[in-house]
């Protein structure tokens, strides 16, 4: 893909709050002679009708601008990985580890981006194999129970070697990028995206000795559902929820492709952590 791009796609959270930022993005692109394509939600907010499905939009563009929260960002990530298109995420939500660019600076940031002044970070993604189906996950894949208030039993293997029988509410396998998402809430560690690792985090494990585990990302992880469990689901990046059959296994490894993510040149990863997690410095008196 050429960069700066000659065509930009805009995907927005379906909320009226996104309206002025969509207008700003369009104005900047048009001033630079860059054509714009809109996703269905963005076109709907503008009242234009039409708009393209995510995969079709990404396939046509050299850059995707996401205006929304991390959920909106994650919904676009698989298509962006497949087509090798970078994503710039502008945060319209509350936390926003992925949509780290502020909407208050969307005009300035886009002008810099279209002048090739922004930084691109390549993030590893998970390849999730379930039966004959293949999926991509930027953050995590979660195996968890249904609505029944009971623990489930899973077996974890690493490169075909048995590691543990797990009795818990579920199990999270995350990338370093996803270590600040569900895994963090479940007690997992924060891992810098530059670290070559995967994080395995049990959810409310029955055994107190079963702790989060950080492993090299060259491993192939297999999670198998117990034959006798009544209801188990696999959730991929919080976007896809799939039932897991009795005795079925999922295989998780790092895909050879990467997500190209636009980062703010003013904010490094540690400052982002400090701001998002409210690690502000308080002087002692």
Q: What pLDDT is stored for residue 2 in this prediction?
A: 56
- 104 in catalytic set: no
Q: What residues have CB less than 8 Å from 269, skipping those under 6 apart? A: 192, 193
Q: What pLDDT is stored for residue 285 in this prediction?
A: 47
Stated pTM of the model: 0.91
Q: What pLDDT is stored for residue 93 in this prediction?
A: 66
Q: Let me know: does 174 contact 198? Beta carbons within 8 Å.
A: yes
DSSP bridge pairs for 143? 171, 234
List, in order of start, the domains of the chain with CATH numbers.
Answer: 7-118+264-276 (3.40.50.10330), 125-256 (2.60.200.30)
Strands 249-263 and 119-130: antiparallel
Q: How far apart are CA 36 and CA 46, in angstroms?
A: 13
10-residue mean pLDDT profile of the chain (285 residues): values are: 80 91 94 95 91 95 94 95 95 74 81 83 96 96 82 93 93 97 95 96 90 96 86 94 93 98 79 78 52
Catalytic residue (choose from 6, 70, 104, 255): 70
How many CB atoms are located within 10 Å of the residue 226 CB? 15
């Amino acid at each position: 893909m050429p960069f700066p791009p000659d065509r930009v796609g805009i995907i927005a959270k379906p909320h009226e709050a996104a309206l002025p930022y969509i207008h700003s993005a369009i104005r900047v692109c048009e001033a630079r002679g860059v054509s714009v394509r809109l996703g269905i939600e963005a076109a709907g907010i503008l009242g234009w009708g039409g708009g393209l499905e995510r995969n079709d939009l990404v396939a046509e563009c050299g850059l995707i601008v996401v205006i929304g929260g991390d959920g909106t960002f994650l919904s676009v990530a698989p298509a962006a990985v497949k087509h090798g298109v970078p994503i710039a995420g502008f945060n319209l939500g509350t936390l926003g580890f992925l949509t780290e660019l502020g909407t208050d600076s969307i005009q300035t940031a886009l002008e810099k981006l279209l002048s090739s002044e922004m930084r691109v970070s390549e993030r590893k993604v998970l390849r999730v194999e379930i039966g004959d189906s293949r999926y991509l996950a930027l953050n995590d894949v979660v195996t968890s129970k249904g609505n029944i208030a009971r623990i489930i039993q899973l077996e974890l293997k690493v490169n075909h070697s048995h590691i543990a029988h797990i009795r818990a509410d579920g199990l999270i396998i995350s990338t370093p990028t996803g270590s600040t998402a569900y895994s963090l809430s479940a007690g997992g560690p924060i891992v810098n995206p530059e670290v070559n690792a995967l994080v395995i985090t049990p959810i409310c494990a029955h055994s107190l000795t079963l702790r989060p585990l950080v492993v090299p990302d060259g491993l192939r992880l297999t999670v198998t559902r117990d034959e006798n469990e009544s209801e188990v689901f696999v959730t991929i990046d919080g976007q896809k929820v799939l039932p897991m059959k009795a005795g079925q296994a999922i295989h998780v490894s790092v895909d050879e492709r990467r997500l190209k993510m636009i980062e703010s040149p003013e904010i490094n990863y540690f400052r982002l952590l400090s701001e998002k997690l409210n690690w502000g410095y308080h002087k002692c008196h």
